[in-house]
Chains A and B, each alone.
Chain A
Amino acid sequence: MPTLRPTLHLDRLGSVIAGLIGLALVASPFVTYRANRIVSGEGRLLFDALPPAGAVGTILVVIGVALCAALAHRPLVRLAAASLGLCVIFPAVGVSAGFVTPVGNTFARVSPAIGFWLLALAFALLAADALTRLRLGPWGRLAALSIAAGMLALLLLSGAWSDLSLMKEYANRAESFWREGRQHLWLAFGSMGAACLVGLPLGLASHRVPALRAALLQGLSIVQTIPSIALFGILIAPLGYLAANVPLAAALGIRGIGAAPAFIALFLYSLLPVVANTMAGLSQVPADVTEAARGMGLSRRQRLVQIELPLAFPVILAGIRIVLVQNLGLATIAALIGGGGFGTFVFQGIGQTAIDLVLLGALPTVALSFAAAIILDAIIDLTRRGGHDRD
């Protein structure tokens, strides 16, 4: 194994990232300036987007990160460089918004432009690669996630971004933002909870009754292939009928259009991963373990609760991870049928060709799915270890 190399050795991946950074720096605008919300904007290169001292400082940091990417090999160094880069350009884009907007102009809008996104992508790639190579344990990954979340919260709360168009869109709708956010979470987590309540017993039953297994899996996988809007649409007709003819349903808030078909569709989508993984988890419990438990006189119920379910738990959790990430994404579509959620802003934004409004809906969704995936992966790792040797 080559451990020490006296000569400079270019890292291939790092060189690609450095190239990306170069492209962002030289050829792409850092922010877009628009006279008002609707008109098309003009780009500003990084050098023109910040006060001279700030611009030079930022450019130097960015070039430094690029050099690190291309030449440094230790993952920790690369991670530090990537974090530094992110910690500089995120506030910088906020500062830039204040700098580019003429004093007293309340109509002008400044958004991050392709150059900013490329830089953010390059730094994120560098960080992701370094983190992958560091092979962090579950606690390490959770810590990294909390640090990232904390930095993001600090950035947003400090008001550094308040001159950005994205935050102006937010400021105009702060109340509905949180309302739709709660609705989004309710749709995603509520349908997941319902799916667990129904799916776990179903999975258990089909583990015990092989005849049920094939039919159930086939039916559920057909449901999975139906595109979300189509399923929403198919559910609207019967739910509408129900609302019109069953007073109780109407009183419960069930209507043809709205959250009900979205909730039910998400629930149906969630069933397959929960049922299939419960079955898979139970069937991979080693036969000699259950045999030993029987031999020790554990009842069927005790075996299930004390032996089989704990051993199947990581696999079931993996199913729940699939469901959660899938639901957080799919819940965006619910807005199309009046079901609310962050998708509301996405579709409004599409309608008004306002990219910042689209981002206001899309970014929290992506952040939520991303965080959910990391957290659940970490939990799965922790349960796989059997909860013993946590270091």
Chain B
Amino acid sequence: MSTRAVTFRAAALLLLVVFVTRPQLFAFAFVPLTANNAPAIYNQGSLLALTLSHVRIVFLATLASTILAVALAIFVTRPAGREFLPLSRSLVNIGQTFPPIAVLAIAVPLVGFGEKPTFIALFLYGLLPIFENTLAGLTEVSPRTLEAARGMGMNAWQRLWQVELPLALPVILAGIRLSVIISLGTATIGSTVAAKGLGEVIIAGLQSNNVAFILQGGLVVALLAVLIHDGLGLAERAAARRLGRPLDEIA
């Protein structure tokens, strides 16, 4: 990684941290967007608290989806679960035509407002990319490698943990990254069902017709998403490198 790229990332991260901890420092930039002496900086809660709770729900939901999705993908690629493989493939295809907002909206009447419907939507929608990628990663392991593993007396469990999963890891990580990005967006919409998150700033701006709120909310969410996406990309490449994969294999 070039020093320019490092500096650029560090600067973006610093900007985000300073903005959410000391937003008033940036008030001068947002004042021109306000009318009728409306506040220039979001004042109905702490940006830092919203950011943390936003990240927390995405993290927890992604963790849950990762566990279930990887477990399901492992199941359908074992002899016992083979019968479920074709259907699970089509389900992933069908599931991705569901917009996340629909999942969110349908969850509300079932579990009420707040974090719960957001968590459910994040969790369910996050399953798809991780499942799809884990499936791809596991089915792409070369049959020759598996034959060698079997021939050396690795049992099914050892083959899974020592050969299949490590080889699938970069692809699984790419799925998790995709899932995190979708979840960051869905969590923003979650504010419409009263989940604590950065969407609140944008919604508040829309309700009070305050463009300054809308813009700063948008910028913080966008910066957060780009930084997280980038950070996960670095982790993926590091994993690929540790697995001895040539770097250009991972886009």
Contact = CB atoms under 8 A, between A and B. Distances in A.
A and B touch in the complex (CB under 8 A): yes
Contact of A233 (B96, B98, B217): B217
Interface stretch (A60-68, A287-295, A303-311, A350-358): A350-358
A228 B217 contact: no
Interface in A97-144: 125, 128-129, 131-133
B87 A128 contact: yes
Contacts of B87: 13, 125, 128-129, 132
Given A256-B211, A362-B105, A370-B94, A230 B99 contact: no
A355 B109 contact: yes
Contacts of B33: 237
A107 to B, nearest CB: 19
Contacts of A162: none
A346 B202 contact: no
Main SS class of interface, B: helix
Given A234-B218, A337-B206, A129 B108 contact: no
A141 to B, nearest CB: 11
Given A233-B218, A234-B215, A366-B97, A347 B226 contact: no
Contacts of B90: 128-129, 131-132
Contact of B99 (A125, A237, A369): A369
A373 to B, nearest CB: 5
Nearest to A239: B211
Interface stretch (A86-94, A167-175, A219-227): A219-227
Interface in B208-230: 209, 211, 214-215, 217-219, 221-222, 225-226, 229
Interface in A231-265: 231-234, 236-237, 240, 256-257
A349 interface: yes
Interface stretch (B20-28, B134-142, B180-188): B180-188
Interface residues of A, number: 50
A365 B102 contact: yes
Interface string B81-121: 00110110111011011111110011011000000000000
A314 interface: no
Contact of A350 (B86, B108, B185, B215): B108
B199 interface: yes
B193 interface: yes
B172 interface: no
B219 A369 contact: no
B101 to A, nearest CB: 5
A358 B185 CA distance: 20
Given A13-B84, A233-B202, A353 B108 contact: yes
Interface in B123-153: none
Interface string A130-167: 01110000000000000000000000000000000000
9 closest residue pairs by CB, A with B = A233-B218, A329-B99, A227-B185, A230-B221, A362-B102, A369-B97, A355-B109, A234-B218, A230-B218
Interface of A: 11-13, 125, 128-129, 131-133, 222, 225-234, 236-237, 240, 256-257, 325, 328-330, 332-333, 336-337, 343, 346-347, 349-350, 353, 355, 358-359, 361-362, 365-366, 369-370, 372-373
10 contacts: A132-B86, A222-B226, A225-B225, A226-B225, A227-B185, A230-B202, A231-B222, A336-B189, A353-B108, A355-B108
Given A132-B90, A230-B202, 18 more contacts: A11-B83, A12-B83, A128-B87, A225-B225, A225-B229, A226-B221, A230-B218, A230-B221, A233-B214, A236-B215, A237-B211, A257-B206, A329-B99, A329-B102, A336-B192, A350-B192, A366-B99, A369-B97
